[in-house]
Chain A
């Protein structure tokens, strides 16, 4: 038997409750009893039971009414109606109302065993079906990887080559180039595609949080760990784990990660049971890992373990030819999601975009297009709808980096250094903002 199946027995006769309870306990089920429908409904509201065996005739609320109320509670429990020979007609009505089956008292032991086995089989089929559905919905396509340039075509070719293997992959590229999209494309085209791809943004987590996130923890492992929790490595069993911002992990985590990659087994935080998981690792970073290895910040052995295949995504400025394609892709994407008619972009605006350097790469372009659609005239994107179409600071006075630093400082100060709100206002994700804060060494003023 997989997980213990829970059964609730509802009958006003104590001897019936005791007999059934004893019978099911010997079969290894988790059994609880209620002497009337009212109490049973209270119990069902508090806890979900897999199977409910209810007598059809009980003082107060009968089994039929209780069954209807269970349905209104939106519970997925399998309801089996117990009936005396005389009330078979009513039991048939219960079946029409959605009960799983009915059984006539007293039961033949074999009938009862069969009935419960069938119900248990249905429960396991249902949970298997749900698990498969969840896996299917996590399938990712590669529609967002747009471009005809030689550089992006090379990336697509590498994805195709590497997808069918089990090798570890490091994806490098500047922030906003689409590293996670490439990881998803590899996963979606790999034999592991029917299993989940689990993403972990290492840069956004402290060392202890990352440890618990990756390896999971046992109940009581630390304050607040009130339940056992599966780690990301465990959840990625059969699939892929994507470790974003891999360069940010601490030396201690580097050692632990190396051990897991070598043995494919680990122990949950606070636990002692060895757990094995079959996963593929894809990492991403916007830093130069080779330089980090040379300077001793990143372990060389871990680097070689991860860097079996390296895919470098070029920055958008190096593939400006792809900008028109990307622009029309994002126009289509956002017009559809905003339920608007498809709009165009005026040639001058497109030229502006093609000339722009895009320090934030494709993500910045995407944000620009989304914003332009929101504030535009609903027919076409004009130069004035783009940020560079508005007042541009004198570049001889201030570099783009200085401008970015000053702008981020202003926004952080405006939102009292609340990173989430500031990131939202800047239209970037939190990880990017944290990286910028680190890059520009920004500190909150006392």
Chain B
């Protein structure tokens, strides 16, 4: 897990522990100093998720089987107004941003616990895509598609039985 922005170490540790508990793989947290300026789109005032995912540091480093970049900036892909995260199905890398997971963005009171919970779910969700899982119709499954933060809150941080079975076959 690459922290590409200023994150509290305790926060990163909790995300790593929760992810490890779900996938039963060791999760290593590393800090990286990626210059985000080349990925900034001034007309949208957002960062291009498609390009970021392809240019994540350590992308080619073989010691990690999966890589998830954690950002604080607002991400987009050309066709969508925003994204919470992005992954390439069945491949190595994924990205997640906490920008739109923060309660303050929606005029609500800051809630660090909720932010942690949403981040954990998004990291597990995007990593699920890298393991080849697609969106799940089960509303409580972490692989259920969420386009609103409220939808993220509705689902759990765990894979449902059928997604877990699919994962075991991957």
Contact = CB atoms under 8 A, between A and B. Distances in A.
Contacts of A19: 50, 77-80
B18 interface: no
B81 interface: yes
Given A110-B148, A113-B147, A26 B81 contact: no
Interface string A295-331: 0000000000000000000000000000000000000
Query: On chain A, which size bracket covers the interface?
Result: 20 to 34
A109 B147 contact: yes
B89 A26 contact: yes
Contacts of B89: 22, 25-26
B45 interface: no
A20 interface: yes
A15 interface: yes
Given A18-B50, A19-B50, A113-B147, A26 B79 contact: no
Given A25-B134, A113-B147, A106 B80 contact: yes
Interface string B50-69: 10000000000000000000
A112 B83 CA distance: 12
A1 interface: yes
6 contacts: A13-B78, A23-B79, A26-B135, A27-B135, A106-B44, A110-B148
A1 B81 CA distance: 26
A137 to B, nearest CB: 33
Nearest to A103: B79
B81 A108 contact: yes
B23 interface: no
A107 interface: yes
B79 A106 contact: yes
A106 B134 contact: no
Contacts of B80: 19, 23, 106-109, 112
A62 B144 CA distance: 36
B78 A16 contact: yes
B39 interface: no
A22 B88 contact: yes
Contacts of B147: 108-110, 113
Nearest to A27: B135
Interface in A405-436: none
Contacts of A18: 50
B38 interface: no
B3 to A, nearest CB: 24
Nearest to B86: A22
A351 interface: no
B79 A107 contact: yes
A379 interface: no
A105 interface: yes
**Interface centre among B80, B129, B137, by most A CB within 10 Å?**
B80
B156 interface: no
Contacts of A16: 78-79
> Sorted from nearest, which 5 A-B pairs have the closest CB atoms?
A110-B147, A109-B147, A19-B77, A28-B134, A15-B78
Interface centre among B82, B87, B134, B148 (most CB of A within 10 A): B134
Interface in A1-49: 1, 13, 15-16, 18-20, 22-23, 25-28
A415 to B, nearest CB: 58
B71 interface: no
B81 A107 contact: yes
Contact of A113 (B44, B78, B79, B145): B145
B19 to A, nearest CB: 19
B131 interface: no
Interface in B112-161: 129, 134-135, 137, 145, 147-148
A103 to B, nearest CB: 10
A368 to B, nearest CB: 61
B47 interface: no
Nearest to B133: A26
Contacts of A23: 77, 79-80
A113 B80 CA distance: 11
Given A26-B89, A113-B147, A105 B134 contact: no
Nearest to B79: A19
Nearest to B148: A110
Nearest to A17: B79
Contacts of B81: 106-109
B78 A26 contact: no
A25 B86 CA distance: 12
A107 B78 CA distance: 9
Contacts of B137: 1
A13 B50 CA distance: 14
A26 B134 contact: yes
A110 B100 CA distance: 14
Nearest to B89: A25
A15 B87 CA distance: 15
A34 to B, nearest CB: 16
B85 to A, nearest CB: 11
Q: Which of B76, B83, B129, B135 has the most CB of A within 10 A?
A: B135
Interface hub of A15, A16, A18, A109 (most chain B Cβ within 10 A) = A109
A151 B20 CA distance: 79
A12 B140 CA distance: 38
Interface in B4-59: 44, 50
Nearest to B126: A26
